[in-house]
Structure formats: structure tokens, C-alpha cells
């Protein structure tokens, strides 16, 4: 793609938020959607922003291109303070920030090519060049045979691919994805995430993904921020947050696994539950079996699973340890001595 701008991973910040707050005035009073959020996103990163419904994550992503102007705080993109730009300058800056949405937002009366050409038409690109770009983008998203189709003739995954092509039309350095896979089935979600990852790796475009699904973050993101009640309660590398969640919100998201099979255990003989995570640095010995032999006491395996976290297999177990707290603490020490991430789990047993 010769005329596509390349944005490499230089390690410098492309997006920086400093104490960003957003307050809405409603007939029922004021609502603080964001509370002093400070965050940096590096060039070429795939950054996930995750939280429960109403946490403020969609408001946050809309401040990144000033579709929502913060009540206070600073948003910097490539070193430019968006609040200091004129409307003309802000419009130009937004051309470098593509956006895709949960419900695609395609123009139903226009075919696929015309949908992709729409932002190029607004930008003043000649029609022949716009159509050439659209053809180029359709090849990237794998829809060359759908150039003349209308949105009603497309599946949900195909519609989202058109939306991605349209978002890429103006050569963005940043791509914002607001719940872009929430309306899709799991298999289609995987294909869309694979496409986004390919675009990120091939062109170095910084991608910010807003989601309420931990599976999406695990699949594609390198770093993640957890939003709870308008606050950034935790952020870091996905592997670190998955292995050692610190905030209550992160622990809830990791344990609940949004959309995956999970049920609370109603009754057990012990309330001493721990979550352990096996990594490539963990011992290959049969740790749990050896622990049971060493202490001469059984443990309950409440959950066991292996997940792909940022391309790395991570094993996870939730164990019910013996009722005796002293013995349970000794078992935790035994596990940690064998390079396992161990944390106490509360609320897992009802």
C-alpha cells in the first residue's frame, strides 16, 4: 500500500491524558462520567480500555478525538493539546484518528465502495483517487468481491470490515474501536480481532479498543486500563493485570470472564479460595499433586482453564484450600515458592 503512512513503534506517547474529567448536567443533577483520568498510550500499541456498563469507557474514548470535550484536564495527541486547536485544526487532526462502532454506522443507501469513499469525498479527494483508495482498502479487509454490494446484503462481520476500511480511508495514525465486536458472534469476533492485529502489525497504527469483554483484551491487546465508576482504577501490561489483578474491578473482570461459562459454587467446606496462574516461567512439576502429598490434605479444584493472553498460553486454577487458615497459608507459600502467581479470591464461594 504505497500511499499509506507508516507509524512505527517508537516507544513515545501518541496519546496522553492528564487529569481528564467529564461532567454532564442533566435535569436530575450533575453526573461525573470521568474523574481525573491520567493515561498514556504509546505509538503502535494496541491498548484496551475495559469496564462494566456505565463505567465511563465510551465517554473516555470519545475524549480522545474531542467528540466529547473534557470538563477539565488535558488531552494530547502527538504532542498537540486538542483544547488549544481551532475548529479547523481539530477537524484536520480528526482525519488522523479513525473510529469504528458497535453498530457499524454505514450509510444504508450507498454501496460498499461509496461508504468507504464518503470520508474521502468530505476531505476533497478527487473521485477517481477515492475509488482507487477504496479498492485498495477492500483488498486489505478481504472484501474485494463486495465492492458494489449494499449494507443490507452483508453479514455483521462484513459490515464491520467495511467500517474498518472506511476508518482507514484517511490514513489515520490512531484507530478507536468503541465496542466494535459486541454485536458479533464469537467466531466473527475472532476474525475481526485478527484483522485489527494484522493492520496494527503491518502499518503500525495505534489501536484503542473499548470493550466490556475480557476475552477481547486477552486476545489482542498488549496493555489495558480498567475503568470503574469513571476512574482509571488500574492499568498495565495485559499479562500482568491478568496474572496479578489489583483492583476489585480488575479481579471481577478476570474472574467473571464476561460471556464465558462460569457459575458461583453455592457451598463448600472451605472459604479459603485462591487463584493461581501458571506461566512459561512456572515449574513443570505436578505442583498441585505434590502439594497434596506433602501436606496430606485434599484441595478442591473449583476451576481450571488455559487462556491465550497476548499470544501466550496462561494456565489458571481456582482452588479451595483446607479450612485451617494456617495450613492454607503454608500451601500458598508452597505455591509461590514454585513461581506461581497466587492471590486470594473472595466471593467465589457463596
- The CATH number covering residue 341 comes to 3.30.70.260
> Which of 256, 291, 325 is the endpoint of a domain?
256
Could you give the CA distance from residue 340 to residue 317 in angstroms, rounded to a whole number?
11
DSSP 274: E
Nearest to 251 by CA among 270, 222, 231, 226: 226
| pLDDT at site 46 | 94
Instruction: Let me know whether 233 and 337 are in one domain.
Output: no
Instruction: Let me know whether 191 and 250 are in one domain.
Output: yes
Nearest to 20 by CA among 67, 69, 77, 87: 69
Instruction: Let me know whether 245 and 320 are in one domain.
Output: no
> Which of 211, 229, 256 is the endpoint of a domain?
256
* pLDDT tens per residue across all 350 residues of the chain: 444 443 333 446 689 999 999 999 888 888 899 999 999 999 999 999 998 888 888 899 999 999 999 999 999 998 899 999 999 899 888 889 999 988 888 999 999 999 999 999 988 899 999 999 999 999 999 999 999 999 999 999 999 999 999 999 989 999 999 888 888 888 888 899 999 999 999 989 999 999 988 888 888 999 999 999 999 999 999 888 887 788 888 878 876 653 344 444 444 445 788 888 876 655 556 788 888 888 888 888 887 777 666 666 667 788 888 888 888 888 889 888 888 888 887 755 44
Instruction: Let me know whether 204 and 307 are in one domain.
Output: no
Instruction: Assign 78 to helix, strand or coil.
Output: coil
Structural domain including 75 reads 13-96+171-256
Q: Is 154 inside any structural domain?
A: no
| pLDDT at site 268 | 45
Instruction: Let me know whether 19 and 73 are in one domain.
Output: yes
Instruction: Let me know whether 91 and 18 are in one domain.
Output: yes
What's the structural domain count of the chain? Answer: 2
Instruction: Let me know whether 250 and 300 are in one domain.
Output: no
Instruction: Let me know whether 197 and 306 are in one domain.
Output: no
> Which of 256, 287, 308 is the endpoint of a domain?
256
Could you give the CA distance from residue 73 to residue 343 in angstroms, rounded to a whole number?
35
| pLDDT at site 267 | 45
Instruction: Let me know whether 205 and 239 are in one domain.
Output: yes
| pLDDT at site 118 | 93
* E strand spans, the chain: 13-26, 29-42, 46-50, 72-77, 80-81, 97-101, 174-178, 206-211, 223-228, 231-237, 273-278, 300-309, 312-320, 341-345
| Strand-strand pairing, 223-228 and 231-237 | antiparallel
Could you give the CA distance from residue 192 to residue 188 in angstroms, rounded to a whole number?
6
Question: How many residues does the structure list for the chain?
Answer: 350
Instruction: Assign 316 to helix, strand or coil.
Output: strand
Q: Is 136 inside any structural domain?
A: no
Could you give the CA distance from residue 201 to residue 45 in angstroms, rounded to a whole number?
9
Instruction: Let me know whether 35 and 81 are in one domain.
Output: yes
Could you tell me if 196 and 207 are in contact, meaning their C-beta atoms sit under 8 angstroms apart? yes
H/E run at residue 346: none
H/E run at residue 186: helix 186-203
Q: Is 181 inside any structural domain?
A: yes
Q: Is 278 inside any structural domain?
A: yes
Q: Is 1 inside any structural domain?
A: no
| pLDDT at site 263 | 44
Instruction: Let me know whether 188 and 285 are in one domain.
Output: no
In DSSP terms, 39 is beta-bridged to: 17
Q: Is 123 inside any structural domain?
A: no
| pLDDT at site 153 | 94
Instruction: Let me know whether 293 and 237 are in one domain.
Output: no
| pLDDT at site 258 | 39
Could you give the CA distance from residue 232 to residue 57 in angstroms, rounded to a whole number?
9
Q: Is 47 inside any structural domain?
A: yes
Amino acid at each position: 500500500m504505497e500511499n499509506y503512512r507508516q507509524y512505527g513503534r517508537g516507544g513515545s506517547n501518541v496519546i496522553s491524558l492528564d487529569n481528564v474529567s467529564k461532567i454532564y448536567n442533566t435535569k436530575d443533577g450533575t453526573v461525573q462520567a470521568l474523574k481525573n483520568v491520567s493515561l498514556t498510550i504509546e505509538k503502535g500499541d494496541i491498548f484496551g480500555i475495559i469496564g462494566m456498563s456505565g463505567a465511563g469507557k465510551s465517554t473516555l474514548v470519545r475524549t480522545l478525538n474531542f467528540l466529547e470535550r473534557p470538563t477539565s484536564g488535558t488531552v494530547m495527541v502527538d504532542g498537540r493539546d486538542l483544547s488549544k486547536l481551532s475548529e479547523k485544526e481539530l477537524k484536520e487532526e480528526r482525519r488522523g484518528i479513525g473510529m469504528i462502532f458497535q453498530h457499524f454506522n454505514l450509510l444504508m443507501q450507498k454501496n460498499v465502495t461509496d461508504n468507504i469513499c464518503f470520508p474521502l469525498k468530505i476531505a476533497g479527494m478527487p473521485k477517481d483517487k477515492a475509488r482507487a483508495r477504496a479498492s485498495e482498502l477492500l483488498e486489505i479487509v478481504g472484501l474485494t468481491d463486495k465492492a458494489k454490494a449494499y449494507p443490507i446484503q452483508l453479514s455483521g462481520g462484513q459490515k464491520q470490515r467495511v467500517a474498518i476500511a472506511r476508518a482507514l480511508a484517511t490514513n489515520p495514525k490512531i484507530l478507536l474501536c468503541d465496542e466494535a465486536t459486541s454485536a458479533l458472534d464469537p467466531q466473527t469476533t475472532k476474525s475481526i480481532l485478527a484483522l485489527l492485529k494484522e493492520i496494527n502489525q503491518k502499518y503500525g497504527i495505534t489501536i484503542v479498543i473499548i470493550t466490556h469483554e475480557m476475552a477481547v483484551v486477552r486476545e489482542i491487546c498488549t496493555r489495558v486500563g480498567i475503568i470503574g465508576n469513571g476512574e482509571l482504577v488500574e492499568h498495565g501490561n495485559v499479562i500482568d493485570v491478568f496474572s496479578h489483578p489489583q483492583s476489585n474491578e480488575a479481579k471481577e473482570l478476570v474472574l467473571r470472564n464476561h460471556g464465558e461459562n462460569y457459575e458461583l459454587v453455592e457451598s463448600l467446606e472451605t472459604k479459603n479460595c485462591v487463584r493461581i496462574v501458571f506461566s512459561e516461567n512456572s515449574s513443570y512439576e505436578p505442583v498441585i499433586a505434590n502439594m497434596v502429598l506433602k501436606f496430606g490434605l485434599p484441595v478442591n479444584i473449583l476451576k481450571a482453564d488455559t487462556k491465550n493472553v497476548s499470544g501466550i498460553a496462561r494456565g489458571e486454577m481456582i482452588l479451595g484450600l483446607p479450612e485451617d487458615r494456617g495450613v492454607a497459608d503454608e500451601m500458598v507459600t508452597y505455591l509461590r515458592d514454585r513461581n506461581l502467581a497466587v492471590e486470594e479470591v473472595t466471593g467465589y464461594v457463596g
